[in-house]
Amino acid sequence: MQLGNMTFAPGAVLAPMAGFTDAACRRLAANHGALYTISEMVSAKALTFGDKKSAQLIYNENNPAPYGVQLFGAEPETMGQATALIQKYKFDFIDINMGCPAPKINSSGAGSKLMLDPKNCGDIVAAVVKESQGKPVTVKMRAGWDADHITAVEVAKACEAAGAALVAVHGRTREQMYQPGTVDWKIIEAVKKAVKIPVLGNGDIESAADAVAMVNATGCDGVMVGRAALGDPWIFAEIKAALNGEPAPEKPTLRQRLEALRTQVYEMCEEKGEWVAMPQARSQALYYMKGLKGAAGLRRACCQLSHYEDLDELFQKVYDAGNR
């Protein structure tokens, strides 16, 4: 798979997720084999207003994989201005959000609301490409807005014509949100057949077997993994091995899982400060507890994390529950 001057073997990338994929999360995924990572979505309009919190979302240090900044907005001019403003930061490509289903984002005409206006999608890509200084521009989109507006093919073609280098297609409509079992692989396949640029498939990838099945069924060039990677960054190495016909890597031990969480939370505290990082770490920790004995009690312990040292008590509870 080619993205600008970057060449990737078959594998998986980390999907951008607001509130989760901060620098520490992205670094963890990259160190475990994610082909590339993308920032949490950043408001183009907020950037043009000089908002410091939005700019902080772009922070990315010591990440060994290529890194993209995701912008969201509904106005081509504003998206172009934001693209020009972020050139002072270090990143490898720009991603445009056309898939977020959140009402707050859609009410402004951004996110998956853009799927109702393919022409505007193309105009936005063109504006971003113009200010990208040669960096590749990618798009993350949905199947469409609802069952009556399945526009992924039309939007993908408009984006390609405007200069997009890759599209990632979440096989659900905005109406379907994140309902399990609703991903339509035929839509991903249709997009792949309609454009010449690389296409990533996204939605309900929870294992290496899922990734192989999606690639085989749709012909997509790779997959994008979201929540399945939270608490399980090893999924990237598993998918890479499966897609390349290599033996599956060994499953992580419980100790390795807990040490990964410790490292992630430590880096969050270093980069944001404990006061900001620990409330966010609660959600991250919950994913690491998945499948362990005593899950209910462990979830309660996760929700009580207030200081970095509290991880020691959480880990002791993990072992006290009989996990080995």
Residue among 48, 11, 80 nearest 239 (CA) = 11
Q: Is 90 annotated as a binding residue?
A: no
Q: Is 307 annotated as a binding residue?
A: no
Reading the block at residue 50, the tokens are 């000089």
Residue 296: which residues within 8 A CB-CB, separation 6 or more?
none
Q: Is 140 annotated as a binding residue?
A: yes
253: burial class by Cβ within 10 Å (0-12, 13-18, 19+)? Answer: exposed
Residue 228: which residues within 8 A CB-CB, separation 6 or more?
205, 206, 207, 235
Q: What 8-state DSSP symbol labels residue 229?
A: G
Q: Is 16 annotated as a binding residue?
A: yes
Beta bridge pairs of residue 6: 3
Q: Is 147 annotated as a binding residue?
A: no
The string of DSSP codes covering 155-199 is HHHHHHHHT-SEEEEEEEETTTTT-TT---HHHHHHHHHH-SS-E
Q: Is 6 annotated as a binding residue?
A: no
> Of residues 25, 100, 121, 302, which has the active-site annotation?
100
Residue 159 among the catalytic residues? no
CA distances to 49, 67, 72, 112, 122 from 83, in Å: 13, 15, 11, 20, 16
Q: Is 87 annotated as a binding residue?
A: no
Q: Is 70 annotated as a binding residue?
A: yes
- Spatial separation of the C-alpha atoms in residues 232 and 210, rounded to whole Å: 15
Binding site membership: which residues? 16-18, 70, 140, 170, 226-227
Catalytic residues: 100
Binding site membership for FMN: which residues? 16-18, 70, 140, 170, 226-227
